[in-house]
Structure 1
Amino acid sequence: MDIETWMRGYETAWRSNDGDDIGTLFTDDAEYFTEPWTPPWRGRDEIVRRWVERADAPGDWTFSWHVVGVDAGTATAFVQGETCYAELATTYSNLWVIRFADGGRAASFTEWWMDQAHASDGDGDGEELG
């Protein structure tokens, strides 16, 4: 599992929105969860199709990330990121859980994304600040 190379490939696919760039990241039967509680996109073909349908335009965003941890026993990587959409004046905190198959492609990808403008007050009641 080479998470650095995979992440660079993900950023390339995000910028290009090219089906080949996207498809090379995932196994044939991969699952892509755009939110952990929603049904996943199933299989490389659906992942590519759905990604392209909701593609971000190149240059509309910036993304920074770092690896939080790796579980070598399950070939799972945990990535924390930040996505900024300047035109929308929106910044998201991201947490990605990526389970890899042999060969370095993702078999499962789950993302959590939180709009920083809607931060909770931290007391556990689910209410926002302000």
Structure 2
Amino acid sequence: MKKYNIKVNGTTYEVEVEEVGAAVTPTVTPIVRPAPAEPAAKPPTTVKKEVPAAAPITAGAQSVTAPMPGTVLDVKVTAGQPIKAGDILIILEAMKMENEILAPADGTIDTVQISKGASVNANDILVTIK
């Protein structure tokens, strides 16, 4: 008799095969293995940062929004600062990548709605330009 382990659809079977002349008679015995113990679940740890209250948006100001959820790594502008189209406003980390949020047009920064370290969702207002 020869013993073989055969895996079928994730289940392992121990098979004994006896060779008798030209005929083969297999015996199949399922091997039952206990499921691996799952580690104790740890509660998620989150750090909430204080986000300053959003400044009121001036009528006619253009909003620059977050294109995706992420964390603000750096704020490159301040309220009242003149900017040109294409200037870097915010560095946003999303999916382990740093994304530069650029000014869509020339103008002056009206309000900065977020701060460094803040978490933002897609379409959250980051800054306004007038």
TM-score by length of 2: 0.27
- Relative to its length, the structure with more strand (as a share) is 2
TM-score by length of 1: 0.27
- Relative to its length, the structure with more helix (as a share) is 1
